[in-house]
Chains A and B, each alone.
Chain A
Amino acid sequence: MKPFEYLEHTADIKFRSYGRTLEEVFSNAAKALFNSMIDLNDIDIELEEEIVVEGGDLEFLLYNWLSELFYIFDAERKIFSEFDVKIRYREGGYSLRGNARGEEIKEKHIFDTGIKAVTLHDIFVRGSDSGDGYICQVVLDI
């Protein structure tokens, strides 16, 4: 199973990510986010960040997870290529605890597209058609 793929979108970036578990889908979505800006192979593992977000439903949890990662990228100038995710359901919503591994932005990093934000447009998280995993879709504003 491929971890993620980019779909045709005129002005912005649309991607889908896949996984056997929700955790894997969320982790692959984070990879798709960073991969849209820079080759993941160009990111060394030198540091780790812990991220905790919540969401009333899975879509909102995904939006908050990716938005938080993007915030750390833009505000703290860090990029990531490896992720561990744990998702828990509690009454009224979901919570996610994630670890992101990567490094600080350096001279050697040359970026492709500049992303402005993660959007809620056309966002979904659902079981895959084959029934053995999950799939999500996200549009990034650029």
Chain B
Amino acid sequence: MEIKEIEDDVWEIPLGYVEGMRVPGRIYASQKLFNNLERDAIKQAANVSTLPGIQRYSIAMPEAHVGYGFPIGGVAGIDAEEGVISPGGVGFDINCGVRLLSTHIPADEIRPKIGALLDEIFREVPSGVGSKGKLRLNEKNLKEVFQGGAKWAVENGYGFKEDLDHCEENGFMKDADPSKVSKKAYKRGMPQLGTLGSGNHFLEIGYVEEVFDPRSAEIFGLERGEVSVLIHTGSRGAGHQICTDSLQILEGSSKKYGINVPDRQLACAPVGTEEAEDYYGAMCTAANYAWANRQIITHWIRVAFKNILKVEEEDLKLVYDVAHNIAKVEEHEVEGKRKKLYVHRKGATRAFPPESKDIPDGYKGVGQPVFIPGSMGTYSYVLKGTKIAMKETFGTTCHGAGRVIARGRAKRTYTGRKVREELKKMGITVRVAKDSILAEEAPQVYKSSDDIVEVVDRVGISKKVARLKPLGVVKG
């Protein structure tokens, strides 16, 4: 069955592409990105449209690639009264997300000290497989983290009150219910708070290389030539376990409620059932854990900057913190009516417009900041949310570069040493737990963040504000 480009950069997966589709699918992609889009990713976007209660269309962002259940870059708005909620639309790394810190430190000032600064950050922030955190939490503390998120972190000395105003949901979801979290998730959660993890997670020091929208950049506190820090991590073992546990339960409930899903990873439960409510309560606790995690890491990065560059912790300001693996209850307009939806964003970022009640007062004039990290050697982008996103994509835009080359093949094609040398030539210093990670995460294995951002900017579901160039990266 043919997929047609119905508008510039917008492609439609017709009903019937897979059996049981309730709405069509929509892919945001340029011709070039579409040509390289995996068939299985299209199929996954079509599978999502079989979920009961899905509204308008199942959406795939320009970076879409094969995931499990939803494609990565998948979005679904599902009726919050008559639909379902599915952990397959959130993923194992619940509230994996990105935050950006801005400074007024000129990039030139940091270049000679970048090695020392990265070493200090590498020391301050535990990273890599099997790494243990520096915090010693007991079950009671962890319960407070699950409940309080970034607020808990600030109350315990990690960062400033103002940071909370600059987080999606102010850094914690009030629907969190720690009583729905298993002993196993507690056990994994206790030693791992304040750790970066591994895989595609990273800390990146860069600078504002280009400003596209001076007014918005100024409001976000970004000035050309000044240093910024990106933090990309999620809810660690606690979140992964919560998803694993929930799948065990929801797989049963799909059957119990007679919901036929084309992929077992799309296991789901009808909204309002005990299974759905329990998952949502547990998912929110994992989201809070992730916000606490990014907040604690932020604090240690501030300390590292203070130690090496003799600046004040307050000199690193939190621009914003976004979640790109999450389900949330939001109100959207569907066929002329306001409707409550569970918006599932799996590798996609909320991009609310100016005047939205859910964004900080200071940003109401321009819209919500959105961060699109590139790969190790490529640009990252700062975007802003738009009205078009509200109208077209349930207030959502893309989230990142998206892999094109498998890890195994990357390791056979590149060597860690060579990637390190190439990055050095580009002016980028790296610190990693193991050199092979450099090969796995070589810049070439990702789609270009430039191509992806061009599409969302052209379509208007978010607009470019600034471009960041990396100077140094810490990878787990």
A residues apposed to B, CB below 8 Å: 6, 8-13, 37, 56, 59-60, 63-64, 67, 71, 74-75, 77, 105, 109-114, 116-123, 139, 141-142
Q: Once bound together, how far apart are the Cα atoms of A56 and B240, in whole Å?
A: 22
Stretch at the interface among B67-75, B116-124, B281-289, B456-464: B67-75
> Which one of B69, B93, B237 contacts A121 once the chains associate, using CB atoms below 8 Å?
B69
In the complex, B476 has a CB within 8 A of chain A: yes
Some 17 contacts from A to B, beta carbons below 8 A apart, are A10-B404, A13-B407, A13-B408, A63-B247, A67-B248, A105-B130, A109-B130, A111-B198, A114-B476, A116-B199, A120-B68, A120-B263, A120-B264, A121-B69, A122-B68, A141-B92, A142-B199
| CB-CB under 8 A for A59 and B264, given A64-B248, A74-B237, A113-B440 | yes
Q: Once bound together, how far apart are the Cα atoms of A121 and B240, in whole Å?
A: 15
In the complex, B426 has a CB within 8 A of chain A: no
Using an 8 Å CB-CB cutoff, how does the interface string of B363-404 with A read, 1 for contact, 0 for none?
000000000000000000000000000000000000000011
The closest CB in chain A to the CB of B407 belongs to: A113
Using an 8 Å CB-CB cutoff, how does the interface string of B89-114 with A read, 1 for contact, 0 for none?
00111000000000000000000000
In the complex, B225 has a CB within 8 A of chain A: no
**Smallest CB separation, B318 vs chain A (Å):** 26
In the complex, B418 has a CB within 8 A of chain A: no
The closest CB in chain B to the CB of A79 belongs to: B130
Q: Once bound together, how far apart are the Cα atoms of A26 and B197, in whole Å?
A: 28
**Smallest CB separation, A108 vs chain B (Å):** 12
> Which one of A11, A13, A64 contacts B403 once the chains associate, using CB atoms below 8 Å?
A11
**Smallest CB separation, B239 vs chain A (Å):** 9
> Shortest 4 CB-CB distances between A and B: which pairs?
A114-B198, A121-B68, A111-B129, A120-B264
The answer on a CB contact under 8 Å between A111 and B130 is yes
The answer on a CB contact under 8 Å between B68 and A119 is yes
Most B CB within 10 A of own CB, among A11, A110, A119, A120: A11
Q: Once bound together, how far apart are the Cα atoms of A123 and B251, in whole Å?
A: 13
The answer on a CB contact under 8 Å between A116 and B38 is no
Q: Once bound together, how far apart are the Cα atoms of A123 and B68, in whole Å?
A: 10
**Smallest CB separation, A27 vs chain B (Å):** 21
> Which one of B188, B199, B243 contacts A114 once the chains associate, using CB atoms below 8 Å?
B199
| CB-CB under 8 A for A71 and B66, given A8-B406, A9-B406, A141-B91 | no
Q: Once bound together, how far apart are the Cα atoms of A59 and B68, in whole Å?
A: 15
Q: Once bound together, how far apart are the Cα atoms of A10 and B69, in whole Å?
A: 15
Inter-chain contacts of A13 with B (CB < 8 A) = 407-408
Q: Once bound together, how far apart are the Cα atoms of A11 and B69, in whole Å?
A: 14
The answer on a CB contact under 8 Å between A10 and B93 is no
Q: Once bound together, how far apart are the Cα atoms of A60 and B265, in whole Å?
A: 11
| CB-CB under 8 A for A112 and B434, given A8-B409, A56-B252, A121-B263 | yes
> Which one of B187, B252, B436, B476 contacts A112 once the chains associate, using CB atoms below 8 Å?
B436
| CB-CB under 8 A for A114 and B187, given A10-B404, A75-B237 | no
The answer on a CB contact under 8 Å between A120 and B404 is no
Most A CB within 10 A of own CB, among B198, B409, B433: B198
Using an 8 Å CB-CB cutoff, how does the interface string of B439-459 with A read, 1 for contact, 0 for none?
010000000000000000000
Q: Once bound together, how far apart are the Cα atoms of A63 and B248, in whole Å?
A: 9
The answer on a CB contact under 8 Å between B184 and A75 is yes
**Smallest CB separation, B33 vs chain A (Å):** 14
**Smallest CB separation, B476 vs chain A (Å):** 7
The closest CB in chain B to the CB of A105 belongs to: B130
Inter-chain contacts of B408 with A (CB < 8 A) = 6, 8, 13
Most A CB within 10 A of own CB, among B187, B247, B252: B247
B residues 184-229 with Cβ under 8 Å of A? 184, 187-188, 197-199
**Smallest CB separation, B432 vs chain A (Å):** 12
The closest CB in chain B to the CB of A14 belongs to: B406
Q: Once bound together, how far apart are the Cα atoms of A40 and B71, in whole Å?
A: 32
Q: Once bound together, how far apart are the Cα atoms of A139 and B92, in whole Å?
A: 13
